[in-house]
Structure 1
């Protein structure tokens, strides 16, 4: 893919789905208040109910929040890192990263913590991990790698602090989301490799994400 083609990919300024996710989190919190937290009880990560087969809680818990402060910090964090990852990854891979991270966060919390948990921070941690993978993969192409990694550390610190001060926020979930985002990004995330110059002097790159190798290997078999 040429540089001109990369720069022309806009995806509604890189934040179409970030805006949708932000709006969804806010609307769900309003619904929580309107139902006097019945929605919270229906969708939170509660281990005993997951054991009974309510597996949807591994996803729905990431759209619920303990209080307005929890919601605001998660929206701030998602707004900080989401548009960057959406523009880097494109909408399909972005949503895959977000939901894979959310499920990994809930699963880690389920395995290591008996306490109920809610919040989008696990999914946000996954996006942070994905950005870290992208920066490390493209150290020779990304000029602001140090600044990006500092921003990543800032978002992590804010969310870890939230886990210490607010009930219902689980740092095991943060860690699970981070691991889920890193693993998913390693498999699916962009891995641009320089191929050759074009006839008009532009640099040609191709996406060498491991998922494409696996798909091609399966086709050959």
Structure 2
């Protein structure tokens, strides 16, 4: 299935432009190893996003089920926003982030692992449905390689923002508080929206910019209404995705102007 291509042309996995498979650097976007060692053609059979959406979807589902099964006796079912909720102990065990795990336990790796964990059935369903809708648009606009970078960076910045505010500013009003313990893929999700806003701004595509900004504003407002929402994680994720794409596209425009 994964046959290595050693000659001819292929599509750069980062910018989706035609290049020689033997190029060590893409002449269009300056990214290293644009053919992924000659496997880009085979990987593209997984889809526009090189299977990234499927990996995130099934990875999150597998970890959600595992956090439930590891502590069956403490599963919570107290309402729509707490239905089939794993215990806090199992979530921390598997990599929840926040002020306590990061600053008190020194678990800096949780800035990324927390994006694969979810707190209840509605939480995981909402996040994964939005990611599946947005990931294709981001891959279509930026390429699959940059989709992975945007999502990962946004997840880390969202987790870091929430952890920093939770640790250094514990006495702010509840709506502006960071999180002692935080989980969820919403930081990466908001990063995809931030990247689309930046893309629409730089390319002057007002339709893309307006649509992504509208989605972001609506979900920000929902975050202030719904209980136990990590608003700083959302804001940090959006800012991370926006700045990553703004920087990359600005550099490309400067190069070809």
Name the TM-score class by shorter chain: 0.7 to 0.9
CA distance in 1, matches of 2:191, 2:237: 5
Cross-structure match for 2:180: 115
Larger RCO (CA within 8 A; separation ≥ 6): 1
Structure 1: gaps of 5 or more residues: 192-206, 214-221
Cα pair 1:13 1:87 within 8 Å, conserved: no
Cα pair 2:115 2:184 within 8 Å, conserved: yes
| Within-5 A mapping of 1:58-69 | 58-69=111-122
- Does 2:186 align with 1:127? no
- Does 2:201 align with 1:136? yes
CA deviation vs aligned residue, 1:102-130 (integer Å, no higher than 9, x gap):
00000110111243111101111011000
CA distance in 2, matches of 1:125, 1:119: 11
Cross-structure match for 2:98: 46
More displaced, 103-112 or 19-28? 19-28
Cα pair 1:186 1:209 within 8 Å, conserved: no
Deviation, structure 1 residue 173? 0.6
Deviation, structure 1 residue 156? 4.5
TM-score, L = length of structure 1:
0.73
CA distance in 2, matches of 1:122, 1:137: 22
Q: Which stretches of structure 1, 4 residues or more, deviate above 3 A after TM superposition?
A: 9-13
| Aligned alpha-carbon RMSD (Å) | 2.8
Cross-structure match for 1:180: 240
Deviation, structure 1 residue 66? 1.1
Cα pair 2:158 2:187 within 8 Å, conserved: yes
Higher helix share: 1
1:82/1:129 CA distance change after superposition, 3 Å = same
CA distance in 2, matches of 1:80, 1:159: 18
Cross-structure match for 1:164: 225
CA distance in 1, matches of 2:212, 2:111: 28
Cα pair 2:154 2:237 within 8 Å, conserved: yes
Cross-structure match for 1:150: 211
Structure 2: gaps of 5 or more residues: 1-10, 19-39, 72-86, 166-177
Cross-structure match for 1:55: 108
